[in-house]
Structure 1
Amino acid sequence: MTTTSSRHRESGPADADQRPSAGHVSAADPVTRAEQLAFSPAVESATRKARWRLLPFLMLMFVIAFIDRSNIGFAEDSLEVHAGLGTAAYAFGAGLFFIGYAVFEVPSNLIMHRVGARWWMARIMVTWGIVAALFMVTTGPVMFYVLRFLLGVAEAGFFPGVILYLTYWFPRRTRGQATALFYLGLPIANIVGSPLSGALLELDGALGLHGFQWMFLIEGLLAVLVGVAAVFVLTDRPSRARWLTETERTSLEDVLAAEAAGKQQVAKLSWWQSLLTPRVLYFALIYLTIQVAVYGLTFFLPAQVASITGREVGFLVGLLVAIPWLCALVVNLFVGRWADRRAAYRSTATLMLVLSGIGLAASAFLSEPVLAMAALCLAAIGFVSAQPIFWNIPTGYLSGAAMAAGVGLINGLGNLGGFIAPNLRSWMVTAFDSQAAGLVMLAAAPFLGALLVAGTALFERRDRAARAGSDAPTP
């Protein structure tokens, strides 16, 4: 097959300075057709409207989701005092969320693919908000374990659902930036959520409630309110968007259909076949290494910053915890656009993961507060920026129900890193009687992830051969 560009690209659309002529679209070549249609004025207008209409709300949902799953980092000491949770029980319960999350990811995403994002996202948010608020009545380890598991069950499908949802609205040449904008919810959740959680803890005693009870109650109810609003804000697909013109709707649907046809030249999979495909499991392993880094840092970051600064966990520590996430937010604004413009998803994700590993490893040995905080900033920049770019790789391979199931499996298995990370870190700290040992172990994960992402170059070669009609086996 003749490529759309004479120079090598990793994967994805042509660069901005090499746009193919819109007047010569080959219906026989879906990949070329999709790349050409993606540059039409109607498609660019439609995706611009979708970016402003949908992404801010999806980002808000992500902010609340991440606050509700990670705010236990601020309640660790309070739960030890009032619910009798020791360090090991806390780490085990923190990770249980991801067991429930992993088990129900695939069915949740398949349901959303059938019934649409609007009602299913609303259901997810309302149920997880209710469970999140119930943490205020935690009375012991068993109840903590049950609620963490149920929170994972309730939230299952949200994140892979959004990744799937973005493929309904954004062609691949703009999806990296769209996903990166959605991922801004991660640093924003920590920039806003850390001071918010710290401030709510200081309501201790108001109306007879402990500070951690106020935190769980208010942050849980926020999810319920936004869940109700989702019914009125989200639109399932471009064909149902009254806020697009007829030309915009048709043009956007055409380019997305051409992209799906191009994927099926490589592999036409049913939803259950995608769950058994070695490549999908490989993607899940990559995502697991990223999540080990994310949650290994997130669950213990308030305590780590408190140790660095010599202060108690509260509002001030919450402000300091926000610094790494603020740095990640600023850098992430540019990385997604860079990767889209150069179609350099693999190399950019690899670089970001290497930076994350360096930051985590350095933070284990730096005692000077400013340098230690700088290392934590580097770690956050790396894994926050790597994630949205990574998702362009599997979504460039899967389509339809196979994408719904495959993305659910990748996210579900990958998020088991959230179970592994706190328990692995706790075990290493106990075994070596050193906080540094736990961080060094976690730092190995993004380095491994970088190697695995670089290895996806082999998939690209096979895909090119398959599209060209060679006899190369489909993985």
Structure 2
Amino acid sequence: MIADIEARVSRKLMLRIIPFVMLLYFVSFLDRVNVGFAALTMNKAIGLSPTAFGLGGGLFFIGYFLFEVPSNLILHRVGARLWIARVMITWGIVSAASAFVVGPQSFYALRFVLGIAEAGFFPGIILYLSLWFPIRQRAAAAAWFMAAAPLSTAIGSPISGAIMKLTPIAGLADWQMLYILEAIPAVVLGFVVLRYMTDAPSQARWMRPDEREWLIARLKAEADARASHAGHTAGALSALRDPRVLALALIYFGTSAGLYTLGLWAPLIIRQYGFGSFETGLIAGIPSVLAVVVMILWAKHSDRTEERTWHVVIPCVVACLGFVFAGEANTALLIVLALVIVNIGISAAKAPLWAMPSMFLSGAGAAAGIAMINSVGNLGGFVGPFAIGWLKNVTGGYAAGLYVVGATLAVSAVATLMLSRQAKQPHAGARAPRVDVK
């Protein structure tokens, strides 16, 4: 009977929640990285050098960093439905406004404001999933949600490339139409969130009463078990000071540097081999299709074995080697192969990584801690793209920057091993909950 209820609840959660949050993240990620396609003609039109483009692309994460924790604490207080809707509508408006930048300064300003507008979305959804999915399903749920990022590249890249080939409308350039057309879904979906999203299991009218009761009891039992550990953190300020939170932020820094280096620079790296806008989009999408498959299978294996550490370390090492390979590649075929390796490594690392915070955080501590991990970690999204642009100006090629981004992933792998080792030691005079449980 219990197994039957568990299966029914699991199926309903996967069908009701996951496709919708994937759609939201798909649109979110598309609006973050379509600047890479806009750059194909925008940079020349408004006078952006590679360094200026890398700086502007990365400034998104400075605004994101500054407002991430406050935004997630507000979400914890008012509920995901209202706050996610607000985030989507404002980021859609700002993204559309990016079509009217006229030079480096306005480009910098709009990227910074876009980061402020979107702050809280990703950690808010991670927190939201932890309120619905039991621990043994959490990495898989996170993997399906985060699969929207590589899917956004796989599907969105050809779409972005096709938009760039449209006949100009109302005097708008191709890159301006790209910003406007891809911002519209964010605003529309913001209003859909208000009607569709449910804040908590107790409000889920789309579940049977016995299913709601089972899920609430299961989540409460897991929360009580976590709270019984001496190393458990529930307060917001305590979470911000927790060294485990800072360690996870450092680990996430490397994966973010890699992810957004791909998002912002892959189209330009591929374009140097003489491909057109649409062809560049198709080629950029190939690695992401493979990454989605590996990402889901890897997360399910992590849940099944209840192991997290090596499920983060191995993909980080793979992605590091992929960036080194990309720096050495000198043909289009080798570049695509390197991007496949990098995409698989970065994507596979993320879900097991995001299953770790809920093992020792809850309540306001989870809201603040998850936001801190994401905000500090996403500074890698500033460092990676900026390093590529600056070193390209200095060296004339992409290799040096790719090596630097690869090094950040090597640091992530080492930090994960150190965190696992520390988690086995007594925490604050008592035994802490382990980060990897196998």
- Match of residue 311 from structure 1: 275
Among residues 412, 431, 449, which one is paired with 2:375 in the alignment? 412
| CA distance in structure 2 between the partners assigned to 1:218 and 1:231 by the alignment | 22
Among residues 409, 425, 435, which one is paired with 1:446 in the alignment? 409
Q: Does 1:298 align with 2:263?
A: yes
CA RMSD of aligned residues (A): 1.9
Shift of 1:43: 3.2
Shift of 1:473: 7.8
| CA distance in structure 1 between the partners assigned to 2:298 and 2:410 by the alignment | 19
Among residues 251, 256, 259, which one is paired with 1:286 in the alignment? 251
Deviations 1:445-468 (A, max 9, x none): 111111111222224323xx67xx
1:23-422 equivalence runs, <5 A: 40-264=3-227, 265=229, 266-307=231-272, 309-312=273-276, 314-422=277-385
- Match of residue 26 from structure 1: none
Q: Is the 8 A contact 1:204 1:212 kept in 2?
A: no
Partner-residue secondary structure (3-state), 1:299:
helix
TM-score (norm 1): 0.87
Partner-residue secondary structure (3-state), 1:364:
helix
Shift of 1:204: 4.3
Shift of 1:78: 2.2
Please tell me the residue identity of whatever aligns with 1:140.
G
Seen in structure 2, the aligned counterparts of structure 1 residues 143 and 452 have a Cα distance that, compared at 3 Å, is: same
Partner-residue secondary structure (3-state), 2:207:
coil
Q: Is the 8 A contact 1:42 1:252 kept in 2?
A: no
Partner-residue secondary structure (3-state), 1:128:
helix
* Gaps in structure 2 of 5+ consecutive residues: none
Please tell me the residue identity of whatever aligns with 2:200.
R
Please tell me the residue identity of whatever aligns with 2:51.
A
Deviations 1:264-302 (A, max 9, x none): 223244111111111111111111111111112221000
| CA distance in structure 1 between the partners assigned to 2:174 and 2:210 by the alignment | 53
Partner-residue secondary structure (3-state), 2:170:
helix
Shift of 1:470: 6.9
Please tell me the residue identity of whatever aligns with 2:238.
Q
Partner-residue secondary structure (3-state), 2:259:
helix
Q: Is the 8 A contact 1:47 1:169 kept in 2?
A: no
Please tell me the residue identity of whatever aligns with 2:266.
L
* Gaps in structure 1 of 5+ consecutive residues: 1-21, 23-38
| CA distance in structure 2 between the partners assigned to 1:472 and 1:329 by the alignment | 37
Seen in structure 2, the aligned counterparts of structure 1 residues 437 and 415 have a Cα distance that, compared at 3 Å, is: same
TM-score (norm 2): 0.95
Identity of aligned residues (%): 38
Q: Is the 8 A contact 1:429 1:438 kept in 2?
A: yes
Shift of 1:82: 2.4
| CA distance in structure 2 between the partners assigned to 1:43 and 1:272 by the alignment | 35
Seen in structure 2, the aligned counterparts of structure 1 residues 183 and 268 have a Cα distance that, compared at 3 Å, is: closer
Q: Is the 8 A contact 1:42 1:248 kept in 2?
A: yes
Name the stretch that deviates more: 71-80 or 93-102. 71-80
| CA distance in structure 2 between the partners assigned to 1:318 and 1:405 by the alignment | 37
Shift of 1:246: 1.2
